[in-house]
Structure 1
């Protein structure tokens, strides 16, 4: 009991998350009552896979003054969170932990362990990490499957050095970015996509209203390409490197297994 006292004394009792990905990790790992606020976008169903869980927490809009007034013991932020906000909070004496993005599935357990240690929830983090690793093995497929491509508004496509690439290839698909030598993300000419003729085109859902950037998703050439093969919509489970990516991976393995069976 005496040995455990310092750990409990140092355990942050009021934790605020101001980043979509740390929102998820905190909601997964925090003790009851430990997490007191998540980012306002955590409740957006278009980008947050845990939007229903997030509705139980007060939202913050990422402002330094707003977060400081919540009297947090610890603020979880991303490496690309507003540097002015992070700097101000630290000058005010608030501990801010900036969690790096995940670019590979092997880093998911690292982030679980990292945030688990910050929250003093090591056992919960270890259990989550072990469950993730077991599910990942079960969902991994040989990399001999159909050829696939990402194509988003403005003709944006993902390269090989991304988390989405890892999800795709772990499900057994071949990413055409490898063929095209595209290790980074950026715009891909529709002509190049059409010539590559992937078996699957992965795109995204659209927001209500009109957007010129989304017009290309309705181009006849792209629609013909999808009609000749398969279309797949990526969702919020693809956004952050948390165990939620298993849902995205499961959807893809179901698609691949079905295509292989045909």
Structure 2
């Protein structure tokens, strides 16, 4: 459209005054072309490549600011975000080409972002910020504040931190209750994990340690039947985790736990805290 307007102006004006007509042609054509929305330095546009960072961003930033989430957030098996919320945001497969095409002001990623991808993004002039995986409530709160700072959403970040702090308030109800968290794949968490920190705060002791099991160790059904905990939190759907023999654990309370509550901080801590409170409250004194 711009080229047609300029050509018309040059034909009408001939050689004399061509430069003037060219300038006028550009100005008149610009009126008919939609300019891109202006950038807001206080609220940079963002592409996220990590599902846990996705979960923070959807709490503190509007969809207009978040150009894309990671594709993991559209997968119910790996997402910590409700499907309806995730559907409001675009996603990428995580390739440098896709991200560069979106032209974000900022890319948020895991510290494990492949170096070739990071190099390509930075060569294209994109700013990249990387974050680790929190292993405690305190680390998760710090991460929320850091993400909120780079997104220009400190106030929203503090509102989320307030909810997280309340949800992680330690239980004062009595002795720690031995509990085994049976995750997808029939594995157990180690002590240095965010979910283990939440279990401790809510009055549960890690029964996996008493069984001689550590981070991501496999817990067979037979082992659990031989060394049953007082509480078995089932967060998987394997054959062993659905076995009828679990009903024979008369001295063990078996409670389901949604897998989406296991891996990320932010709002996940709020939901996990509520679920653990409910489980603890339902136990026989």
TM-score under structure 1 normalisation?
A: 0.82
Correspondence for 1:210: none
* Higher relative contact order (Cα pairs below 8 Å, separated by 6+ residues): 1
Alignment match, 1:45:
76
What is the CA–CA distance in structure 2 between the aligned matches of 1:105 and 1:13, rounded to whole Å? 27
Structure 1 vs Structure 2 CA RMSD: 2.6
Pairwise CA distance, 1:222 = 4.5
Of 183-192 and 112-121, more deviation after overlay is shown by 183-192
1:155 to 179, 186, 189: 186
Q: Would you say 1:176 and 2:200 are equivalent positions? A: no
Contact kept, 8 Å, 1:159 with 1:184, in 2: the verdict is: yes
Structure 2 counterpart of 1:122, from 136, 150, 154: 154
How far off is 1:189 after superposition?
4.3
1:34 aligns with 65
State the Cα deviation string for residues 33-92 of structure 1 (Å, max 9, x = none).
Answer: 211111122133343232321111111111110111000110111123344322321232
Whole-angstrom distance in 2 between the partners of 1:217 and 1:134: 32
SS in structure 2 of the partner of residue 133 of structure 1: helix
Unaligned runs of 5+ in 2: 1-38
Deviations 1:144-191 (A, max 9, x none): 243211224543111211112112222211211232454533223444
Residues 205, 104 of structure 1: CA spacing in aligned structure 2 closer, same or farther, 3 A cutoff?
same
1:135 positional shift:
3.4
Residues 77-92 of structure 1: pairs in structure 2 closer than 5 A: 77-92=109-124
Residues 81-230 of structure 1 correspond to what in structure 2 (within 5 A)?
Answer: 81-137=113-169, 140-142=171-173, 144-206=175-237, 214-219=238-243, 221-222=245-246, 224-225=248-249, 228-230=252-254
SS at 1:13 equivalent: coil
- The CA distance in 2 between the partners of 1:30 and 1:169, in whole Å, is 31
1:34 to 1:144, Cα distance in 2 relative to 1, 3 A = same
Is the contact made by 2:43 and 2:65 (CA closer than 8 Å) also made in structure 1? yes
Does the Cα contact within 8 Å between 2:188 and 2:214 map onto a contact in 1? no
Query: Which moved further from structure 2: 222-231 or 195-204?
Result: 222-231
Return closer, same or farther for 1:259/1:58 CA change in 2, 3 Å cut-off. Answer: same
SS state at 2:168 partner: helix
**Shift in alpha-carbon separation, 1:110–1:143, aligned structure 2, 3 A:** farther
8 A Cα contact 1:140 1:172, kept in partner: yes
Residue matched to 2:13: none
